[in-house]
Amino acid sequence: MIKFSKILSVCGLSLSVLALSVMAAPKGGKPIVLGFSQVGAESEWRTANTESIKSAAKEAGITLKFSDAMNKQENQIKAIRSFIAQKVDVIAFSPTTTTGWEPVLQEAKKAKIPVILTDRGVDVKDESLYVSLMGSDFKIEGVRAGEWLVDYMNKKGITKPTINIVELQGTTGSDPAIQRKAGFEEVLAKNPNFKIIRSQTGDFTRAKGKEVMEAFLKTEGKNIDVLFAHNDDMAIGAIQAIEEAGMKPATDIVIVSIDAVKGAFEAMMSGKLNCTVECSPLLGPQLMQAAKDLMAGKEIPRRVITDEGVFPAEVAAKEFPNRKY
C-alpha cells in the first residue's frame, strides 16, 4: 500500500491552516450538545461515517442530535435551523453540495453557535461562517486514481493510441465529485492518450452506478477500456452491469474507484476491481475533540486533512484484516 501523510494541522505549515478560536461559553460541567446533519445513507462509506460520529459522541460524553437529510440540502437547512432554535452548543454537518449555505450559516453565526464542517466543504465568501473543515483532500484522491491508472496501463504495456475511459461521477455539485474529477483530469491532461469518452453521475449509489454503467455498455460496449468511479459503491454496481453484459470486470475493463470500503476489498480479492483510493470516513473522534476544544475556548485548526493511502488489488488480501471500515 502506498502511504501518504498530510496532517496539516500538526505541522501547521500550510497557509490555509489559520488557527481560529471561537469563544464559546464554557459548559460548567453540563454535557456539550452537538447538532449533526448527515448527508444521508447513500453508501457503505456514509454508513461507516455515521457510525464513527455516533460512537465518538457516546465515547466523548457529548449529547448528539443527529439528523439524516436523505441527500436533500433543504433537509439539512431545516435541521440546522432546528439546532439553532434548540440552542445547541456546536453545529456540525457534511454538506450535500457546495453552494447555497450562506443564509443558514449567517443565522448560526448570529446565534453565536460555532459550525464545524466534516467530510465535505462549502463555497462561501465569508470564511467566518464555519470554524473548521475536517476531511479528505478530494482533489488528491482524484490525482492518485489517475496516477495509479496511468502507471498500471503503462506497466501492462497497454499502449493503444487512445485508452477510452468511462466515468461515474459522484453527486452533482458535491465537493468530492467536483474535486475528484478535477484531480483525475489533471493527470489525464499530462497523458493525452487517456480519454474520458462518457461521464455521468451515479449519485454515489450502487443502484445508480449499475444503471448508468448499463447505459455506457449499451452505447460503447467493447470500446470501453477503463471505468473510473468516484466511489466504491458505484464501482460495485457497475461490476454487476459489466458481468451481466458478459464481460470480465478488472480484466476486459480496468476499474479504479475511491473510498477503500470493505466491499471494495472483497471485489479486489475476487478479481473484479483493480484499485481503490482511500478516503477515510472515521471522522467522529476528531470532530468530538474539536467540539470539546471549542467549548473550552481553545483554538482549533482551520483545516484538518486525513492521512490516506492507495490500495491496488495485489495488496487487498494482506490489508483486508487491518481495515476499520
- Note the residues at the interface with ligand GZL (CB under 6 A): 42-43, 45-46, 119-120, 135-136, 176, 204, 231, 233, 258-259, 279
Q: Nearest residue to ligand GZL, using CB?
A: 45
Q: Which is nearer to ligand GZL, 204 or 311 (CB)?
A: 204
CB of 112 to ligand GZL, least distance (A): 28
- Going by their DSSP bridges, the two strands 115-118 and 303-305 should be labelled as unpaired
Nearest approach, Cβ of 305 to ligand GZL (angstroms)? Answer: 12
Name the minimum Å distance from CB 120 to ligand GZL.
5
Give the distance from CA 293 to its chain's centroid: 25
Toward ligand GZL, which CB reaches closer, 257 or 274? 257
CB 191 within 8 A of CB 150: yes
DSSP assignments along 205-235, one per residue: -HHHHHHHHHHHHHHHGGG--EEEESSHHHH
Please give the Cα distance from 99 to 173 (Å, whole number).
8
Helix axes 138-155, 175-189, angle to 10 degrees: 40
Beta pairing, strands 303-305 & 275-278:
unpaired
Residue 18 DSSP symbol: -
Using the minimum distance from each CB to ligand GZL, give the nearer residue, 167 or 233.
233
Q: Tell me the closest approach of the beta carbon of residue 213 to ligand GZL, in angstroms.
A: 16
**Is residue 83 within a helix (H) or strand (E), and if so which, with residue range?**
helix 73-85
Q: Closer CB to ligand GZL, residue 46 or residue 302?
A: 46
**Pick from 153, 36, 165: nearest CA to 90:** 36
Nearest to ligand GZL of 89, 259 (CB atom): 259
Dihedral sign from CA coordinates of 203, 260, 115, 51: positive
Provide the H-helix boundaries in 87-228: 102-110, 138-155, 175-189, 206-220
Q: Least Å distance between CB 49 and ligand GZL?
A: 7
286 and 304 in contact (C-beta within 8 Å)? yes
User: Considering the complex, what minimum distance in angstroms separates the CB of residue 179 from ligand GZL?
Assistant: 10
Which H or E run includes 237?
A: helix 232-244
Least separation, in Å, of the C-beta of 233 and ligand GZL?
Answer: 6
Closest to ligand GZL by CB, 22 vs 178, is 178
Cβ proximity to ligand GZL, 119 vs 167, nearer residue: 119
Instruction: Tell the smallest beta-carbon distance from residue 259 to ligand GZL (Å).
Output: 5
Taking the least distance from each CB to ligand GZL, the nearer of 117 and 153 is: 117
Please, how many CA atoms are within 13 Å of residue 263, restricted to the half-sphere of its CB?
Answer: 18
* Cell numbers for 52: 464513527
